[in-house]
């Protein structure tokens, strides 16, 4: 519980109301906390403005107020509370500095875990900037839930057994140029796949050849299967290299090829139980009674659809882990599919909470992306471009930095910029990606946040001697407004965890950075007398800590200098 929350609880006890009754006035000159009296006045059968006047007089003349409350005023139907800067700011600074990277986080809620599955890539295809939205979103939600007290198990599910693998291998065997290329083989497979789709087109002979390759892969023997194993590993190694760059960690990784056989057995069991049924040569789940239509499980030609492995995977998850909830991070196009999948799992007897955490599309200025058409920006391409632009900005500012320092800073700027663009907008909104905008230092970007953090770190480094001075309360309204914003970090975290929405944290950090820059312009810090500088630097220290904590939630990289 933060100091602000403690003040709210003490007020609620004094007023016999709920902590959730308090709101924040639109302007701090009206007060720092407010209690709308509409419901209370209705209970007492009094006019809200008159009740506000009466309560303000009673409280100001009583000893019921917490020490941090300086004054109470009536403003129409609202009872507004003004905080004491010396007490509040001092307590907030001490609290944040003591809590450090635990500030705002909550203790563990339950032994049961929440599993979150994301980064469901396809081997033999490229990782493009669209995948980056899934990865960044899933990772941020994982960290936000963990900070809110959940025991979170992040996992990835890789589709390594679809027809796309056969198309890629078909083209890889035909095009020797890929064998000779110098790029990482996992990256080359994506280009090979995109080209295969164009080459195959409506060519019936090519389709037959791909079908034969798929049968050999499914048979799990022979040279084609061995090539599938080798190329599959190239993709996995490439994915892992990207995860390393993005600092993504999974507790477990599942592969479709490991669950097909078990899924086919489950299909037979569900046919016996009447949960599935045969229909014109296919196997389906009839979900019309739940207004979910029909979910095909096996095609009429006998080939398995995604649900076969998904049913087996869900069963394995619930068997292996003690889960209170299983979350699937997949784009909005799959919404109906997951409703159908969850309906079948409930009929199988699984009552655990299952959630499809969907997100909308990411588009380019040229239109929608598609790995089939090749209209994509691959992850590697966008990372390279971001690093080039970041390096140019760094070299303008620091011509004496070492090559290693320039590279590390450019990588930190690039990775943070890309991640932030993926999560600063709510998941239900379309993102139109613009790499130039993502690296601006003066907008709603990671670079702006990183630059502000570096400014704070520079102040702390230069004013280190002042921090050791004896601190005396000397805070006024600017410090109070800034401290109040710092305290609301935990509220942002609570809302982000409840809504599973990292954009709440992104927006909070942006507003916090703006508040810091406003404060920096209003108040001299290093040029103040020692005791004044000490107090203000402790506030800067608190800001730096909260910014770092928020960066950790979003997977951004804090830079001490830029």
Check pLDDT > 90 for residue 21: yes
| C-alpha torsion angle, residues 235, 409, 536, 30 (rounded to 10) | -50
pLDDT tens sequence across 319-375: 999 999 999 999 999 999 999 999 999 999 999 999 999 999 888 765 555 544 455
pLDDT tens sequence across 122-165: 999 989 888 999 999 999 999 999 999 999 999 999 999 989 99
Do 383 and 418 form a contact (C-beta atoms < 8 A)? yes
pLDDT tens sequence across 253-264: 999 999 999 999
Check pLDDT > 80 for residue 84: yes
Q: Are residues 484 and 536 in the same domain?
A: yes
| C-alpha torsion angle, residues 540, 542, 545, 546 (rounded to 10) | -110
Q: How far apart are CA 233 and CA 255, in angstroms?
A: 12
Q: How far apart are CA 150 and CA 152, in angstroms?
A: 6
Question: Looking at residue 469, what is its pLDDT?
Answer: 62
What token pair was written down for 175?
């095009």
Full residue range of the structural domain in which residue 163 is found = 118-257
Number of domains in the chain: 3
In a domain, 187, yes or no: yes
Q: How far apart are CA 414 and CA 198, in angstroms?
A: 32
Question: Looking at residue 488, what is its pLDDT?
Answer: 97
**Last residue of some domain: 257, 287, 318?**
257
pLDDT tens sequence across 457-469: 999 999 987 766 6
Do 235 and 189 form a contact (C-beta atoms < 8 A)? yes
Least confident of 51-60, 263-272, 528-537, 546-555: 528-537
Q: Are residues 42 and 177 in the same domain?
A: no
What token pair was written down for 181?
């290329």
Q: Are residues 410 and 471 in the same domain?
A: yes
Angle 443-446-452 from CA coordinates, rounded to 5°: 80
Residue listed under structure tokens 């398995």: 304
**Buried b / exposed e along 320-356 (16+ C-beta atoms within 10 A):** ebebebbbbbbbeebeebbbbbbbbbebbebebebeb
Question: Looking at residue 295, what is its pLDDT?
Answer: 97
Question: Looking at residue 472, what is its pLDDT?
Answer: 63
Q: Are residues 182 and 128 in the same domain?
A: yes
Q: Are residues 243 and 150 in the same domain?
A: yes
Q: How far apart are CA 419 and CA 429, in angstroms?
A: 16
pLDDT tens sequence across 541-550: 999 999 999 9
CATH number, residue 398: 1.10.730.10
**Last residue of some domain: 226, 257, 288?**
257
pLDDT tens sequence across 196-238: 999 999 999 999 999 999 999 989 989 999 999 999 999 999 9
In a domain, 561, yes or no: no
Question: Looking at residue 536, what is its pLDDT?
Answer: 93
Question: Looking at residue 528, what is its pLDDT?
Answer: 87
Q: Are residues 77 and 122 in the same domain?
A: no
Check pLDDT > 90 for residue 558: yes
Closest by CA to 420, choosing from 394, 406, 405, 441, is 441
Closest by CA to 37, choosing from 82, 83, 75, is 75
pLDDT tens sequence across 373-405: 455 688 988 999 999 999 999 999 998 999 999
Angle 218-376-123 from CA coordinates, rounded to 5°: 20
In a domain, 328, yes or no: no
Check pLDDT > 90 for residue 471: no
Stronger pLDDT, 85 or 109, i.e. the higher one: 85
In a domain, 88, yes or no: no
Task: Classify residue 301 as exposed, middle or buried by CB count within 10 Å of its CB (0-12, 13-18, 19+).
Answer: exposed
Q: Are residues 65 and 159 in the same domain?
A: no
Task: Classify residue 367 as exposed, middle or buried by CB count within 10 Å of its CB (0-12, 13-18, 19+).
Answer: exposed
- With 0.85 as the threshold, say if the pTM is over it: yes
Q: Are residues 396 and 516 in the same domain?
A: yes
Q: Are residues 69 and 122 in the same domain?
A: no
In a domain, 154, yes or no: yes
CATH number, residue 51: 3.30.1360.70
Q: Are residues 212 and 74 in the same domain?
A: no
Q: Are residues 135 and 218 in the same domain?
A: yes
What are residue 328's DSSP bridge partners? 117, 356
In a domain, 542, yes or no: yes
In a domain, 432, yes or no: yes
**Last residue of some domain: 257, 277, 292?**
257
pLDDT-derived band at 529, boundaries 50, 70, 90: confident
Q: How far apart are CA 557 and CA 417, in angstroms?
A: 10
Give the largest CA-CA distance in the chain. 91
Q: Are residues 239 and 161 in the same domain?
A: yes
Average pLDDT across the chain, whole number: 93
Share of the chain above pLDDT 90, in %: 83
Q: How far apart are CA 327 and CA 114, in angstroms?
A: 7
pLDDT tens sequence across 28-57: 999 999 999 999 999 999 999 999 999 999
Do 253 and 158 form a contact (C-beta atoms < 8 A)? yes
In a domain, 371, yes or no: no
Q: How far apart are CA 145 and CA 127, in angstroms?
A: 26
Closest by CA to 381, choosing from 190, 177, 145, is 190
CATH number, residue 135: 3.40.50.620
Do 196 and 154 form a contact (C-beta atoms < 8 A)? no
Do 127 and 239 form a contact (C-beta atoms < 8 A)? yes
Question: Looking at residue 551, what is its pLDDT?
Answer: 98
Q: What share of the chain is helix, strand, coil (3-state, %, to 5)?
A: 60, 15, 30
Question: Looking at residue 439, what is its pLDDT?
Answer: 87
């Amino acid at each position: 519980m933060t100091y602000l929350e403690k003040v709210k609880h003490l007020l609620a006890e004094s007023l016999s109301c709920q902590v959730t009754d308090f709101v924040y006035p639109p302007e701090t000159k009206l007060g720092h906390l407010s209690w709308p009296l509409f419901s209370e006045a209705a209970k007492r059968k009094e006019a809200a403005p008159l009740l506000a006047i009466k309560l303000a007089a009673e409280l100001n003349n009583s000893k019921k107020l917490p020490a941090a409350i300086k004054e109470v005023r009536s403003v129409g139907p609202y009872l507004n509370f003004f905080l004491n800067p010396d007490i509040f700011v001092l307590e907030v600074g001490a609290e944040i500095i003591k809590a450090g990277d635990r500030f705002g986080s909550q203790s563990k809620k339950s032994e049961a875990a929440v599993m979150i599955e994301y980064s469901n890539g396809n081997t033999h295809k490229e990782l493009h900037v669209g995948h980056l939205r899934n990865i960044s979103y899933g990772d941020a939600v994982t960290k936000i839930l963990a900070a809110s007290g959940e025991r979170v198990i992040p996992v990835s599910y890789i589709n390594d057994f679809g027809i796309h693998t056969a198309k890629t291998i078909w083209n890889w065997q035909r095009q020797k140029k890929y064998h000779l290329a110098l790029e990482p083989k996992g990256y080359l497979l994506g280009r090979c796949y995109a080209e295969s789709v164009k080459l195959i087109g409506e060519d019936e002979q090519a389709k037959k050849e791909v079908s034969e390759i798929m049968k050999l892969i499914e048979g799990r023997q022979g040279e084609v299967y061995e090539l599938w194993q080798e190329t599959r590993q190239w993709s996995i190694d490439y994915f892992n290299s990207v995860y390393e760059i993005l600092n993504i960690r999974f507790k477990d990784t599942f592969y479709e090829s490991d669950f097909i056989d078990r899924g086919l057995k489950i299909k037979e069991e569900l046919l016996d139980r009447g949960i599935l049924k045969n229909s014109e040569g296919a196997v389906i789940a009839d979900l019309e009674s739940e207004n979910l239509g029909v979910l095909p499980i096996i095609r009429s030609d006998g080939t398995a659809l995604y649900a076969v492995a998904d049913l087996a995977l869900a069963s394995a998850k619930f068997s292996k882990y003690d889960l209170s909830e299983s979350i699937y991070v997949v784009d909005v196009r799959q919404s109906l599919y997951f409703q159908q999948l969850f309906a079948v799992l409930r009929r199988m007897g699984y009552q655990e909470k299952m959630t499809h955490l969907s997100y909308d599309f990411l588009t380019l200025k040229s239109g929608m992306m598609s790995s089939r058409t090749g209209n994509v920006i691959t992850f590697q391409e966008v990372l390279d471009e971001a690093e080039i632009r970041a390096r140019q900005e760094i070299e303008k500012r620091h011509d004496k930095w070492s090559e290693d320092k320039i590279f590390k800073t450019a990588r930190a700027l690039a990775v943070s910029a890309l991640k932030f663009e993926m999560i600063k907008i709510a998941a239900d909104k379309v993102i139109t990606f613009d790499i130039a905008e993502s690296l601006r230092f003066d907008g709603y970007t990671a670079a702006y946040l990183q630059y502000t953090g570096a400014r704070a770190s520079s102040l702390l480094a230069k004013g280190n001697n002042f921090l050791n001075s004896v601190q005396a309360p000397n805070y006024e309204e600017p410090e109070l407004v800034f401290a109040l914003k710092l305290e609301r970090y935990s509220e942002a975290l609570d809302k982000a965890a409840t809504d599973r929405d990292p954009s709440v944290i992104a927006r909070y950090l942006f507003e916090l950075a703006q508040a810091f820059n406003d404060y920096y312009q209003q108040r001299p810090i290093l040029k103040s007398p020692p005791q004044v500088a000490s107090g203000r630097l402790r506030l800067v220290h608190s800001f730096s800590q909260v910014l770092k904590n928020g960066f950790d939630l979003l997977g951004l990289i804090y830079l001490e200098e830029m």
